[in-house]
Amino acid sequence: MDTGKTPERRPTVSTKIFVNLPVQDLARSREFFTRLGYSFNPQFSDDNAVCLVISDDIFAMLLVEPFFKSFTKKDVADSRTSTEVMLALSAESRADVDDLADKALAAGGTPAGDPQDLGFMYGRSFYDLDDHHWEVVWMDPAALEEQG
């Protein structure tokens, strides 16, 4: 029911997100993301998982598939034939989009589609070594202000 009142906003709290992704070869996945310029948090890394640090508040837990399966009763999506999720990362510039996507391809990733240039937004996408779909996007701040 619409009461006409503006919904109350919760105070902004820094929430960390941990995206869990199954991988076939932990060492190979670690090397792939290292080549993209990312680091790993050793506190949350062992023989079953590594914690990929994307930003201060965003992490991807790369878990070997048997360990990943231990957390769910459902079947694990086969990322070679199904898209279970698309992971989108922002970039500071168009050049940063190209840099990260080019590094991913050089490290063994594959293109997930053609570059998208919408003027106010530019993005590229790739599949990592386990066929997880990653998007890298830059939005023109000036164009966003005009739309604001």
Domain annotation covers residue 129: yes
Domain annotation covers residue 128: yes
The share of the chain scoring above pLDDT 90, in percent, equals: 82
Mean pLDDT in residue range 26-37 = 98
Mean pLDDT in residue range 3-14 = 67
Please answer whether residues 124 and 97 qualify as being in contact, where contact means their C-beta atoms are separated by less than 8 angstroms: yes
pLDDT in tens, 83-121: 889 999 999 999 999 999 999 999 999 999 999 999 899
Q: Give residue 145's pLDDT band: very low, low, confident or very high (50, 70, 90).
A: confident
CATH label of the domain that carries residue 58:
3.10.180.10
Q: Give residue 146's pLDDT band: very low, low, confident or very high (50, 70, 90).
A: confident
Is pTM beyond 0.95 here? no
The per-residue DSSP string of 58-114 comes to: EEEEEEEHHHHHTT-SSPPP-TTT----EEEEE-SSHHHHHHHHHHHHHTT-EE-S-
Range of the domain at 125: 85-148
Are 106 and 135 contained in the same domain?
A: yes
Q: Considering its fold, how many domains does the chain have in total?
A: 2
The share of the chain scoring above pLDDT 70, in percent, equals: 91
